Structures are given as structure tokens and as C-alpha cells.
Amino acid sequence: MTNSDAIENVILELRRGVIVLAALSLLDEEQYGYSLMKRLSECGLEVEQGTLYPLLRRLEGQGLLASSWRIEEGRPRRYYVISQAGREALPGLKAEWGGIVGMMGKVLSK
Amino acid sequence: MTNSDAIENVILELRRGVIVLAALSLLDEEQYGYSLMKRLSECGLEVEQGTLYPLLRRLEGQGLLASSWRIEEGRPRRYYVISQAGREALPGLKAEWGGIVGMMGKVLSK
DNA sequence: CATTATACTGTGTTTCACACAGTATGTCAA
DNA sequence: TTGACATACTGTGTGAAACACAGTATAATG
């Protein structure tokens, strides 16, 4: 592994951690995988299909999301929304995120 | 996996991503693993030994850190510092972090 | 009618974190 | 002085998860 690979890797790890929270937050509004991917991309968070789709299934399996398979606009899509449990967890997770941002602010300024 | 396990898991993922950047930044000053662990803990970032030590070795292997094994205060310790490559990468990584924070600010406010 | 965008599923492979165990020295109090 | 606790690091096994890659299929666009 070269140096720049390692740096690329750090950036990936940095982004990876926030994907779940971003997805949970955006799925306050019902959306299907592909549209969520586009939405995240617009926000500046590029996520591969091979990352996002399994992630959504995982979060559904963990009970933080719910999904339904429907045909809309002539096309079958799996729609995801945040579940009751997810909705209840979200404020705590946002607070946790705020804490991390504050903590990193201190660490990085040193 | 229960619901609260899943939530715990999201928080872990969130913290995990920032550990590398925090470590790199704090290792601007030479330190050994255990003292870095304590320092991170003081900043509010709890990291297990089984996580931090392999991480440091990994980052050294990737060329972002350098280490030397010395005896100080009667006790052998492995001292780590950020390498030249790491030092050069750090501003870019901090900027990346700033971008993520800004992006998440938008995402979470929606 | 061919290409691109849309939209999802599935299968390795590899990278890690994490749990756990092990080793060993220094410190401090009962 | 001895037992507990903090310090300080190494190593192994396991499981979770991203990522690369491949595959399937429909709609839109030129």
C-alpha cells in the first residue's frame, strides 16, 4: 500500500462512519435506495451502490429502517423509511455526532 | 441483535472513523500508545487497547507514523510520532473533515 | 436502436475492530 | 510484604462490513 492509498483510506474511514447517520436522517422522508444515493451525492457524500444497498438492508434487519417493495412510475422500487425505533434513536445519535464534532474541534486545534 | 445494540453500533461506527484523524493530529507531539490512549480518553474519545495498538502499527506500516522503541522512566515504551508523509497529509485530512462536518450540518438540519 | 440512466440483487475478498489472552513492570496501601 | 491496581505492550481468533465485481432488468434519450 502506497502513502496516498493510506491517506485515501483515512478519508474513506472518515466518510464511512457518517453514512449511516446521514442515511437515517434523510430517510425521515420515504425514499428508495437509488434516490437516496443521488441525494447523498448532491450533499457531497458519494456512496457506491455496493455499499449503500447492503447498508440499507442491514439497518432494516436491525430494526432502524422499514421497507416496502412497490411499483411506482412503472418501475418496481424498494422504499425505505426510518422506523419508530430509528426515529426515537435519531435525536440521541445527532447529539452524539455533535459531541464528536466538538471533541474533534478541540483535538484538531491542538 | 437488539435495537439498542444497533444504535450502539452506529455510535461506534461514528467514533471509529475519527480515531485515525485524532491520533494523527495528537501525534504531532511524540507519544507512546498508552499515553495517547489516555489523552484521547481525556478528550472524550474512549479507545480500547485492542483497537489503538493495532491501529498505530497499521498507520506506521502505511508510512503515516514512525516509531522507536526506547526505555524511559525505567520502562520500555514504543514512542510514535507523525511521519513526514503524515505531516504533509494532515492539512488535507483536516480540510476533508471540515467538509464532512459542513455536509452533515446540512443533512441533519433537513 | 443503441446507449445511458435508473434500480436492485448477489458473491467473493479483504480489511479491520474487538474480544480475549498473555507478559511484565511500577506503585501504593493494608 | 504482598496483593491489587495502573501502566504498557504483543498476539490470535472471530465476525462484521465495505468494496469490487458481476449480473439482471426496465425506462429514457438521442
The percent of residues in chain B predicted with pLDDT above 90, rounded, is 80
Nucleotides of C under 7 A from a protein CB: 6-11, 16-21, 25-26
Binary contact (A64, B6; C-beta < 8 A): yes
Decide: A22 and B79 in contact? Cβ < 8 Å: no
Report the footprint of strand C: residues with C-beta closer than 7 angstroms: A 9, 13, 32-35, 38, 49-50, 53-54, 57, 73, 75-79; B 12, 16, 19-20, 47-51, 54-55, 58, 74-75
Instruction: Give tens-digit pLDDT for B84-96.
Output: 999 999 999 999 9
Nearest Cβ partner of A10 from B11, B21, B108? B21
Nearest Cβ partner of B17 from A14, A25, A94? A14
Using N-to-C axis directions, what is the helix angle for B3-26 and B49-61, rounded to 10°? 50
Going edge to edge, which strands form the sheet with B65-72?
Answer: B31-32, B75-82, B65-72
Rounded Cα–Cα distance for residues A17 and A21 (Å): 8
Rounded Cα–Cα distance for residues A31 and A35 (Å): 6
The C-alpha of B65 sits at a distance from chain A's nearest C-alpha, in angstroms, of 11
Compute the C-alpha angle B94/B100/B102, nearest 5°: 105
Q: Which residues of A fall within a CB distance of 8 Å from B62?
A: 1, 3, 5-6, 9
Q: What is the residue-averaged pLDDT of chain B?
A: 92
Q: Which residues of A fall within a CB distance of 8 Å from B101?
A: 101, 104
Whether the per-residue pLDDT at B1 is higher than 80: the answer is: no
Mean pLDDT, residues A83-107 taken together: 95
Instruction: Give tens-digit pLDDT for B3-38.
Output: 778 898 999 999 999 999 999 999 999 999 999 999
Task: Tally helices (H) and strands (E) across chain A.
Answer: 4, 3
Decide: B10 and A25 in contact? Cβ < 8 Å: no
Whether the per-residue pLDDT at A110 is higher than 80: the answer is: no
| Total structural domains within chain A | 1
Closest CA to B102 of A92, A6, A18, A29: A18
The 10 Å CB-count burial string (b at 16+, else e) for B77-87 is bebbebbebbe
The pLDDT value recorded for residue B40 is: 93
Q: Which residues of B fall within a CB distance of 8 Å from A17?
A: 13-18
Mean pLDDT, residues B60-64 taken together: 92
Closest CA to A107 of B19, B62, B22, B86: B22
Instruction: Give tens-digit pLDDT for A3-33.
Output: 778 898 999 999 999 999 999 999 999 999 9
Whether the per-residue pLDDT at B73 is higher than 90: the answer is: no
Binary contact (B14, A96; C-beta < 8 A): yes
Whether the per-residue pLDDT at A2 is higher than 80: the answer is: no
Through-space separation of residue A50 CA and nucleotide D21 C1' in angstroms: 9
CA distances from A108 to A63, B23, B83 (A): 35, 10, 17
Q: What is the CATH number of the domain that holds B80?
A: 1.10.10.10
Task: For residue A92, give its domain range.
Answer: 3-109
